[in-house]
Amino acid sequence: MPIPADWPTTEAQALAEQERLRPLVQPHDDPGLPADRLIAGVDVAYDDDRDLVVAAAVLLDADTLAVVEQATAVGRIPFPYIPGLLAFREIPAVLDALAALSHTPDLVVCDGYGLAHPRRLGLASHLGVLTGLRTLGVAKTPFTFHHDQPDTPRGATTPLTDPATGEEVGRAVRTQPGVKPVYVSVGHRIGLDTAVRTTLHLARRYRLPETTRHADHLCRRALTAETQAN
């Protein structure tokens, strides 16, 4: 799918789009939803020298965490690198990868932020609002936010807070004993408690959720294949 004609190309346009979309985020669970059956992970890799972005979407069975389906998409990088605006570089390719799946995920786990973002619209929230899918973000670093270290045991958490306002924007979550935490935040149509529980369910053996691990490996392999072919 080509990049939409109205996709922001300047910092000012992107900031205005974030402000427009932010009020549409639903930072809570939808009542009455059935249990998740299919959970997707999405991730993106770049080759800036060749102006290439590759996105991967990997669909897992929510119970067994077995891979059900996977897809990749390749495109041109549609936006310059500007901190806080990475979604504008990544979402077009992510949308293509998700569209290539034959099943619709019940939940999408993004390698990045949701509400844990300076304007409360990281990749997970942005993607959720655009697609209507339930989304959450699991990041490897806390970006600009503050947290105390969680206790050592698996499942320990501490609030991730905005130092300017004291607002809780996510949680630092210890997914494995004594291992660095990950940073979980609401994307869209999910509450923070549910997002944390889901992350722990997906990270049974490793620091990162299986969704992220599979999507990261797939997009890197696809990028290598694409650059070697060109």
* pLDDT at 205 > cutoff 90: yes
Domain containing residue 44? 28-229
pLDDT value for 86: 95
pTM of the full structure: 0.95
* pLDDT at site 230: 67
- Specify if 6 maps to a domain: no
Overall domain count for the chain: 1
Q: Quick check: is 17 in a domain?
A: no
Residue at 45 is within a domain: yes
Q: How sure is the predictor about 228, in pLDDT bands with cuts at 50, 70 and 90?
A: confident
Identify the pLDDT of residue 22: 97
Asked whether residue 21 is domain-assigned, the answer is no
Q: Using one digit for the tens of pLDDT, what is the confidence trace for 115-124?
A: 999 999 999 9
Give the CATH number of the domain where residue 126 resides.
Answer: 3.30.2170.10
56 phi/psi in degrees, rounded to 5? -125, 140
Quick check: is 22 in a domain? no
Average pLDDT of the chain is 95
Q: How confident is the model at residue 227 (pLDDT cuts 50, 70, 90)?
A: confident
Beta-strand runs (E) in the chain? 38-47, 52-61, 67-76, 107-110, 135-139, 157-161, 168-173, 182-188
Tokens of 221: 């392999």
